[in-house]
Amino acid sequence: MEKQRKNEKEKRKEKGFSRLSTASVVESIAPSPYVEECTTIEHRCRYIKDNSFYGWLKILLSLPYSKVMELDKLLAMPALLALLLLYLHFMRRKIRNGIQNLPPGSSGWPIVGETFKFISAAREGTPVRFIQERMERYDSRVFKTSFLGDPMAVFCGTAGNKFLFSNENKNVQVWWPSSIKKLLRSSLVNKVGDEAKMTRRLLLTFLNPEILRNFVPKMDTIAQIHINTHWQGKEQVVVHSTVQKYTYALACSLFLSIEDPLHDSKFSSRFHRFLKGLVGFSINLPGTRFHQAMKAANEIREEIKKIIKQRKVDLEEKRASPSQDILSHLLATPDSNGRFLTEIEIMDNILLLLFAGHDTSRSTLSSLMRYLAQLPHVYNKVLAEQVEISRAKGEGESLQWEDVQKMKYSWNVASEVLRLSPPVTGAYREALRDFSYADYTIGKGWKLHWTTCSSHVDPRLFANPEAFDASRFEGAGPAPYSYVPFGGGPRMCLGLEFARLEILVFMHHIVKQFKWDLVNPNEKFKYDPMLEPVDGLPVLLHRHH
Ligand code: HEM
């Protein structure tokens, strides 16, 4: 053994530092008895008791200049290789673009593309800046970018919306970033074609106006309890975190019959972690938002699993009704093929509904509160409409479906809020095959993005687009495909009616009891991933006499 070591040492000496190896570098500075035992530079660093950046620095500093130069060469190899790969990547892209007449635009950096530019525009609350800058720069209805690692074409304006909404299952199909897909595994967002149609139909048999009209009195009670608990007697309220309690309570009640969800603070904190990790890079490493969200989603599933177990017993023993909430509905109703959803599908679809129906409405209510504070003439008209509805009712009588139908001006106001401050920037599709759009080739597998802002603030579609004007929604309303806060086509939002009811019921009670002022009139809103006020929108409350 000793002899073998001596031989190796001799051989290395003969080779000298002209053929420098990591082993020889360390050997030259580390105490030899330790070095003899080790094979890699990291291993040796451990022996000099400092396997850290500092340890490596110590090695480098203690090398003679000539050796450092050699080490440079060694380290330069991977860097050169990376540069070469980058060059080949750009060349391949350039050649392909030339052949295929791809839409104009930049794919940005490899892997990350223009993700950070898009996210930073969204975080500043101005995704429209990202879109408009490019529409102007390329003078095109469609431009190319790259988002979350995928090439992506952004379809703009009514023509873009119309194309994507009317080509579902023909040229395109719904697509969501992998973080959403992984978190909402077997839910509707991961279903396409006939399977998606079947699941949508099943969910819509609960979320349609005919069924939801029966829940208006329940929504009314939840809104009143919410306002009595979280607004009454307060001088100042932080709107965004407070309205969340309402949308959350409503979703938990109508989806799972959990009547006092805020009691369970664990459930709501899990839910918060789940929501924050839904949109972004799906890197499942401790400390990342996505990792937190995966953990939270599994914990929520466990909770829902327990509820399902109990509910099955209750349904069998007729202690629960098949129409009491969406959970009972999904357990008791087969799809049009006579198949019942599996337990996992039910859990994932409920998680989807909690996600899709919670922060969207919360964002709308926060924006609504801001506009009503800023625009007293609009507030006064909403108040007059709501007081009129109350007057026609008996003392203490709950709101009914028919009352909500009368809230026409209030809904026009909410619609204008959704035009100017849509909770989501848009949604995604995927190209099923190569196809041509506006004379450009869109490649199979490309990700496609429609956006709310590309049409909502277009002056050709909405005169004086920056102005708040609820009358735009009177009569025939906006041009087709120009107003799209809920998307469109076969994958349009399933919760429109649910959202309409929860927003109007909340408006009814809040304006009837309070007027309010913004604490910070210049507070900005940002997308993270939904639109939200950066400081939570604190308001000063004034109770009506
Ligand atoms: C103001 C509130 C809301 C807004 C602005 C909104 C907006 C959207 C948008 C833009 C989409 C994507 C549509 C597309 O890809 O074409 C969507 C999908 C969806 N929304 Fe909503 N939403 C709201 C409330 C709700 C509520 C309350 C629920 C549930 C009760 C809900 C459930 C869903 C579901 C399940 C989908 C997926 C549909 C599919 O993939 O087929 N949403 N929503």
Domains, the chain, with CATH or none: 2-95 (no CATH), 109-182+424-483 (3.30.43.20), 186-423+485-543 (1.10.630.10)
| Predicted local confidence at residue 487, as pLDDT | 97
Nearest CA to ligand 1 atom 43: 493
| Predicted local confidence at residue 509, as pLDDT | 98
The one-character DSSP state at 168 is B
pLDDT digit string, tens, across residues 97-120: 555 688 888 776 666 667 667 777
| Predicted local confidence at residue 6, as pLDDT | 55
Distance 495 CA to ligand 1 centre (A): 6
Q: Which residues make Cβ contacts (< 8 Å) with residue 359, sequence separation at least 6?
A: 244, 247, 275, 423, 530, 532
Q: H/E element holding 290?
A: helix 289-316
| Predicted local confidence at residue 387, as pLDDT | 97
Distance 285 CA to ligand 1 centre (A): 29
DSSP string, 103-120: PSB---BTTTBTHHHHHH
| Predicted local confidence at residue 267, as pLDDT | 73
Nearest CA to ligand 1 atom 19: 493
| Predicted local confidence at residue 189, as pLDDT | 93
The one-character DSSP state at 153 is E
CA distance 473 to 408: 10
Which residue in 301, 209, 228 sits closest to 504, CA to CA?
Answer: 209
| Predicted local confidence at residue 161, as pLDDT | 97
| Predicted local confidence at residue 65, as pLDDT | 53
Label each residue of 349-367 as H, E or C.
Answer: HHHHHHHHHHHHHHHHHHH
Cα dihedral value 163, 165, 170, 171, nearest 10:
50
Task: Classify residue 49 as left (phi > 0), alpha (psi -120 to 50) or beta.
Answer: left
| Predicted local confidence at residue 136, as pLDDT | 80
Mutate to test the pocket of ligand 1, among 493, 498, 530 (most ligand atoms within 8 A of CB): 493
| Predicted local confidence at residue 498, as pLDDT | 98
| Predicted local confidence at residue 444, as pLDDT | 93
CA distance 48 to 29: 10
Establish whether 38 is an annotated binding residue.
no
| Predicted local confidence at residue 21, as pLDDT | 39
End-to-end Cα spacing for the chain: 97
Task: Mark the ranges of the chain whose per-residue pLDDT is less than 70.
Answer: 1-76, 89-100, 108-113, 115-116, 122-123, 125-126, 148, 261-265
**Could you count the other beta carbons within 10 Å of the beta carbon of residue 194?**
11
Ligand 1 lining (C-beta closer than 6 Å) = 174, 188-189, 200, 207, 352-353, 356-357, 360-361, 364, 423-424, 427, 485-488, 491-495, 498-499
pLDDT digit string, tens, across residues 2-23: 555 556 555 544 444 333 333 4
Ligand 1 atom at minimal distance to the Cα of residue 196? 41
CA distances from 372 to 24, 196, 380, 381, 477 (A): 73, 38, 9, 10, 21
Ligand 1 atom at minimal distance to the Cα of residue 188? 40
Place of tokens 């020889």: 24
Which residue in 167, 67, 86 sits closest to 450, CA to CA?
Answer: 167
Which residue in 502, 501, 509 sits closest to 405, CA to CA?
Answer: 501
Q: What is the mean pLDDT of the chain?
A: 85
